[in-house]
């Protein structure tokens, strides 16, 4: 691989055509800035691996916001700190692309702290180049999470104090506590020897991604002569003498050999397979039914079903509506959802109608099912005159006060208990509704159960409960 001539890597643009000023061959970086060196190491690796065509480099917010001026690769510019999240999207969309997130310390360790932590923890198959210069360069030299104790910046004008600003964050050490990352290393660019080590680390990190091994990150201690108010040579010295003490160089994790490659499946599914997966490959059953056979007051019923959470009132409503649909009607079902689902009272509104349903809200039910006393107390007055109240006498200790309605008392919970499960009290009531009103047929209800009930082994018991409910009402 050794080349006889060292010159501009080919994965840099020959001319920086996106750079707005007249100078299209120099970078926008200050003299002695570490970004230039790191760009060069990265560009050289991309060229040597022959991956420029499939590489996407993410330009962050920071001095390297314009990294896309330089790299002749795919380029995506992103919001402050969000590069690992964007990289995740890019990579998951096209797993064969090589995604390199280039980030500074404020971007990665402050505003984007959780994003890097989580991407690393997922073992996201991306490579992160983390440029740590202990300062916010682009915005004029404010404190970064990696600023050293005592270091003066424009927002720590008296020096960073641990008591106020806390301590410099060591990202490599932090991330090495996670199982996700496959390769973590910290390098510097202070002298030829460290530069060559950093060069190798970058290559190792990219190679890990090329081999589908997972998350790799190289942190690079980098001089910011302008931000530090130093000459380039002084700045380099400061990295070596001050930063390295706090941010020791080395490899923090390397599981590139033992880690199994991530497998990707890329196949387009046929329309038939998609329909099957979504359960759209079968037509819903159809049952004939006529509302004309139903007593006028219960035609196109507006139903409210109410009880304790756990009494299956939502499932009862769902089954009724599903059966209504299978009979060819317009139907709607809405739950009262939220905390009520978790132990309090629950209710749902169901409509079955020969015409389009405008409001799915049932304020004045023509059929009220009260599975417990609070439900009867709360909704009795809302029932339309001539309407029907079915109430569960196992739990409801009084009869409805209204005299302008019809009512059916049924010990649904006791009947269910005798059948072997308190849970089917709702289906006992369904049987009562079928027997009394005929708004749905038993056949349609049983068919609906097959769609609605998740555990098919419970269906026979549910059917038995429906039949018991019917029988009870028939014998009233």
CA pseudo-torsion sign 175, 176, 181, 182: positive
| Near other proteins by CB under 8 A: residue from 245, 257, 267, 454 | 267
In the region spanning residues 364 to 423, those forming contacts with other proteins, defined by CB under 8 A, are: none
**Is residue 4 near other proteins by the rule CB under 8 A?**
yes
CA distance 123 to 216: 8
**Is residue 164 near other proteins by the rule CB under 8 A?**
no
**Is residue 35 near other proteins by the rule CB under 8 A?**
yes
**Is residue 54 near other proteins by the rule CB under 8 A?**
yes
**Is residue 41 near other proteins by the rule CB under 8 A?**
yes
- Partners of residue 351 on adjacent β-strands: 302, 332
**Is residue 32 near other proteins by the rule CB under 8 A?**
yes
CA distance 156 to 165: 9
- Which parts of 170-224 fold into alpha helices (H)? 171-175, 192-210
Query: Which listed range, 190-198, 288-296, 405-413, 418-426, lies at the site for other proteins (CB under 8 A)?
Result: 190-198
| Near other proteins by CB under 8 A: residue from 62, 74, 106, 312 | 74
**Is residue 274 near other proteins by the rule CB under 8 A?**
yes
| Near other proteins by CB under 8 A: residue from 99, 134, 376, 389 | 99
Distances (CA, A) of 54 to 59, 99, 129, 231: 16, 8, 17, 38
CA distance 455 to 105: 52
- CB atoms near residue 407 (< 10 Å): 19
Q: Any idea what DSSP says for residue 240?
A: I
Helix axes 459-474, 412-419, angle to 10 degrees: 130
**Is residue 206 near other proteins by the rule CB under 8 A?**
no
- CB atoms near residue 102 (< 10 Å): 26
Instruction: Provide the minimum distance between the beta carbon of 377 and other proteins in the complex, in angstroms, as a whole number.
Output: 20
Q: Which two tokens stand for residue 289?
A: 């039914």
Query: Which listed range, 66-74, 247-255, 387-395, 464-472, lies at the site for other proteins (CB under 8 A)?
Result: 66-74
In the region spanning residues 233 to 252, those forming contacts with other proteins, defined by CB under 8 A, are: 233, 236
User: Residue 58: phi, psi to the nearest 5?
Assistant: -100, 120
Pairing of strands 216-221, 250-254: unpaired
**Is residue 26 near other proteins by the rule CB under 8 A?**
yes
CA distance 417 to 410: 13
| Near other proteins by CB under 8 A: residue from 241, 363, 377, 381 | 363
What is the rounded (10 degree) CA torsion for 156, 161, 166, 168?
A: 70
x-marked contacts with other proteins along 431-450 as a string, rule CB under 8 A:
--------------------
User: Residue 199: phi, psi to the nearest 5?
Assistant: -60, -45
In the region spanning residues 306 to 325, those forming contacts with other proteins, defined by CB under 8 A, are: 318, 321-322, 325
- Could you tell me how far CA 153 lies from the centroid of its own chain? 38
Q: What is the rounded radius of gyration, in angstroms, for the C-alpha atoms of the chain? A: 35
Please identify, using beta-carbon distances, which residue of 124 and 464 lies nearer to other proteins.
124
**Is residue 1 near other proteins by the rule CB under 8 A?**
no
**Is residue 354 near other proteins by the rule CB under 8 A?**
no
**Is residue 45 near other proteins by the rule CB under 8 A?**
no
**Is residue 271 near other proteins by the rule CB under 8 A?**
yes
Please identify, using beta-carbon distances, which residue of 60 and 469 lies nearer to other proteins.
60
**Is residue 187 near other proteins by the rule CB under 8 A?**
no
- Partners of residue 221 on adjacent β-strands: 132, 188
Stated as kind and residue range, the H or E segment containing 321 is: helix 313-326
User: Residue 120: phi, psi to the nearest 5?
Assistant: -65, -45
Pairing of strands 55-59, 74-77: parallel
**Is residue 6 near other proteins by the rule CB under 8 A?**
yes
**Is residue 196 near other proteins by the rule CB under 8 A?**
yes
| Near other proteins by CB under 8 A: residue from 60, 68, 311, 408 | 68
**Is residue 361 near other proteins by the rule CB under 8 A?**
yes
Query: Which listed range, 128-136, 175-183, 203-211, 266-274, lies at the site for other proteins (CB under 8 A)?
Result: 266-274
**Is residue 30 near other proteins by the rule CB under 8 A?**
yes
Question: What value, to the nearest 5°, has the Cα angle with vertex 377 and ends 376 and 383?
Answer: 60
Query: Which listed range, 67-75, 134-142, 213-221, 413-421, lies at the site for other proteins (CB under 8 A)?
Result: 67-75
**Is residue 455 near other proteins by the rule CB under 8 A?**
no
Size of the site for other proteins (CB under 8 A): 110
**Is residue 218 near other proteins by the rule CB under 8 A?**
no
Instruction: Provide the minimum distance between the beta carbon of 164 and other proteins in the complex, in angstroms, as a whole number.
Output: 27
Query: Which listed range, 168-176, 250-258, 357-365, 395-403, lies at the site for other proteins (CB under 8 A)?
Result: 357-365
| Near other proteins by CB under 8 A: residue from 18, 229, 398, 418 | 18
- CB atoms near residue 405 (< 10 Å): 18
């Amino acid at each position: 691989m050794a080349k006889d001539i060292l010159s501009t890597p080919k994965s840099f643009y020959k001319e920086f055509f996106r750079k707005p000023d007249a100078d299209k061959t120099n970078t926008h970086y200050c003299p002695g800035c570490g970004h230039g060196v790191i760009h060069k190491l990265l560009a050289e690796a991309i060229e040597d691996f022959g991956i420029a065509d499939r590489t996407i480099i993410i330009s962050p917010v920071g001095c390297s916001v314009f990294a896309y001026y330089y790299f002749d690769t795919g380029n995506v510019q992103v919001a402050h700190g969000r590069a690992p999240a964007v990289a995740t999207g890019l990579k998951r969309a096209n797993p064969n692309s090589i995604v390199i997130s280039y980030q500074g310390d404020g971007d990665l360790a402050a505003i984007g702290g959780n994003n890097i932590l989580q991407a690393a923890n997922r073992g996201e198959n991306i490579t992160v180049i983390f440029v740590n210069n202990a300062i916010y360069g682009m915005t004029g030299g404010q404190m970064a999470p990696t600023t050293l104790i005592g270091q003066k910046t424009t927002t720590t004008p008296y020096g960073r104090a641990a008591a106020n600003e806390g301590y410099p964050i060591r990202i490599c050490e932090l991330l090495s506590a996670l199982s996700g990352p496959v390769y973590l290393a910290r390098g510097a660019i202070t002298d030829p020897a460290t530069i060559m080590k950093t060069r190798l680390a970058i290559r190792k990190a990219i190679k890990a991604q090329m081999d589908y091994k997972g998350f790799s990150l190289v942190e690079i201690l980098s001089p910011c002569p302008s931000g530090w108010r130093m000459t380039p040579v002084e700045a380099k010295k400061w990295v070596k003498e001050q930063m390295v003490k706090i941010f020791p160089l080395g490899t923090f994790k390397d599981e590139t050999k033992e880690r199994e490659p991530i497998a990707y499946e890329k196949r387009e599914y046929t329309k038939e397979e998609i329909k099957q997966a979504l359960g759209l490959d079968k037509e819903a059953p159809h049952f004939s039914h006529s509302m004309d056979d139903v007593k006028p007051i219960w035609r196109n019923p507006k139903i409210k079903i109410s009880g304790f959470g756990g009494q299956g009132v939502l499932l009862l409503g769902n089954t009724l509506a599903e059966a209504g649909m299978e009979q060819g009607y317009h139907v709607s079902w809405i739950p009262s959802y939220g905390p009520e689902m978790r132990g309090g009272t629950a209710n749902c509104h169901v409509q079955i109608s020969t015409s389009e349903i405008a409001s799915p809200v049932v304020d004045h039910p023509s059929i009220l099912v009260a599975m417990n006393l609070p439900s009867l107390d709360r909704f009795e007055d809302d029932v339309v005159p001539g309407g029907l109240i079915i109430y569960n006498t196992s739990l409801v200790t009084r009869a409805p006060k209204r005299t302008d309605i019809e009512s059916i008392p049924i010990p649904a919970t006791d009947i269910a208990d005798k059948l072997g499960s308190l849970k089917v009290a709702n289906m006992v009531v369904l049987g009562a509704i079928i027997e009394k009103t005929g708004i749905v047929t038993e056949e349609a209800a049983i068919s609906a159960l097959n769609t609605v009930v998740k555990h098919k082994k419970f269906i026979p018991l549910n059917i038995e409960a429906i039949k018991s409910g019917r029988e009870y009402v028939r014998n009233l």
